[in-house]
Each structure stands twice: as structure tokens, then as C-alpha cells.
Amino acid sequence: MGWLKRWRTTRGYGVHSTFAYNLITKVIGQTSAHYYAYAEIDSLCPKGRRTGLTDNFSGFHYAIPDARLLFRLLCHFNPAQVINVGNGHEVTNTILERAVPRARRECWVDSRVIPVVPCGLVFVLVNIVGDESAAAVEVMIHSLSQRPEGVVVVARNIGAHQSTGRMWRRLIASAPGGMDFSNGHIGILCALPGLPRQSYTLNF
């Protein structure tokens, strides 16, 4: 997709879904508003911006724009439960505590059965995942997508970490419904009831 088309889509041009338009323009692309937790989150981020694929710590460390985006997404969806795949360390913990302090939090590890809340939206944050664990993570996400409330998935490092990127591409290729949004670094899948299958490539 050309740069100009990405630029236009990021500003809502040609986006006919009300859900997608609001998420793109008021959450994903809303970088001018200043949230109360930004100062604390920024102080924990070792990178002011994204660096290249050679960043050895890309699986754990956040660029400030990415940390802020996760905070906005959590505030917007206000999930009942957050499942964290691949620990994001102190930055992730602080974002979760400030954005959704009442949400139940679980850290996924291989072969562990995650107790899921009986009702309410589940939000899955994939920081980094190896090939040996990817299939199990995909099964978990597909199972959660069958719930009445659906599931929201944010996958980080899809461009910098090969196995995480492969998992993301398989996930969106097999999704029967819902919308996904990506900039090549972060992917957001909203597998929510009633949403048609659509994909958006953005600049954010």
C-alpha cells in the first residue's frame, strides 16, 4: 500500500465503518491529547522512538508512542481481563495498573490453562512469542473470539521479531470476522461481534 493511501486511511478517509473510523481517528491516531499517566509511562520507556530491527531488547522495551498507544487502547476498550503473553516488564505493568486497575490480569506461559472471566471483554497483549508457543497462543485467541463479547488482541514486535510476525499473519489470515489494524510494527485485532472482516494498514 502506498504511503499516501496509508496517510489518508490514518485520517479516516475512505473508512466507512463507524467502529473503524472512531478507533482510527479517536484512539489509534489520537496523539495530540495528553493523558494523566503519560508522564509516568514516558519515564519508564528506554526509547523515545522506534529503533531498527537490530534492537536486541525489542521484545521487552517500548518506544514511547507504542506505550502510549497501548494505554489509549486499554482505556478505550476497558476490558474485564488482560492476558499478557511474553512479559513486557515494568512498563507493561504500569500501563495496565494505570489504564485498567480493576481488570483481572493473567500472564500466559506454555501449557498453562488461563482462567477466563465468565463475562466481559478479554484483551490479549502479545509482547513476543516463539514458534514453539505460537500455535498454543493462536488456539487460545481463537477460543476467546467465540465468546459473546469477543476478544481484542494487540501484538507487538510483528516486524522486529520473526516468529511473532508469523503468528500475527496466520492469526489475521484465519480470522473469520473482525477488523485488524497494523503499521508493520504493532497489530491490533478486534474480533468483536457484528464486525465484518476488514484490514487497515495505517501510519501510527
Task: Count CB atoms within 10 A of the CB of residue 119.
Answer: 9
Q: What domains appear along the chain, each with residue ranges and CATH number?
A: 3-49+57-111+119-201 (3.40.50)
Residue 58 has a pLDDT of 39
Rounded to an integer, the average pLDDT of 118-146 is 92
The stretches of 11-88 forming alpha helices (DSSP H) are 18-23, 38-44, 64-77
pLDDT confidence of 101, banded at 50, 70, 90? very high
More confidently predicted of 111 and 102: 102
Residue 31 has a pLDDT of 82
Residue 172 has a pLDDT of 95
Residue 123 has a pLDDT of 98
Looking at every residue in the chain, the average pLDDT score rounds to 88
Rounded to an integer, the average pLDDT of 126-147 is 91
pLDDT confidence of 188, banded at 50, 70, 90? very high
pTM of the complete model: 0.89
CA distance 189 to 180: 4
Among 35-39, 97-101, 121-125, 176-180, where is mean pLDDT lowest?
35-39
Residue 48 has a pLDDT of 53
* Per-residue pLDDT tens digits for 38-77: 999 988 886 655 554 434 343 457 889 999 999 999 999 9
Rounded to an integer, the average pLDDT of 30-38 is 85
Residue 56 has a pLDDT of 38
CA angle 39, 6, 45 (to 5 degrees): 20
Residue 13 has a pLDDT of 86
Residue 3 has a pLDDT of 78
CA distance 92 to 117: 21
* Per-residue pLDDT tens digits for 3-14: 788 888 888 888
Handedness of CA 11, 189, 65, 105 (dihedral sign): positive
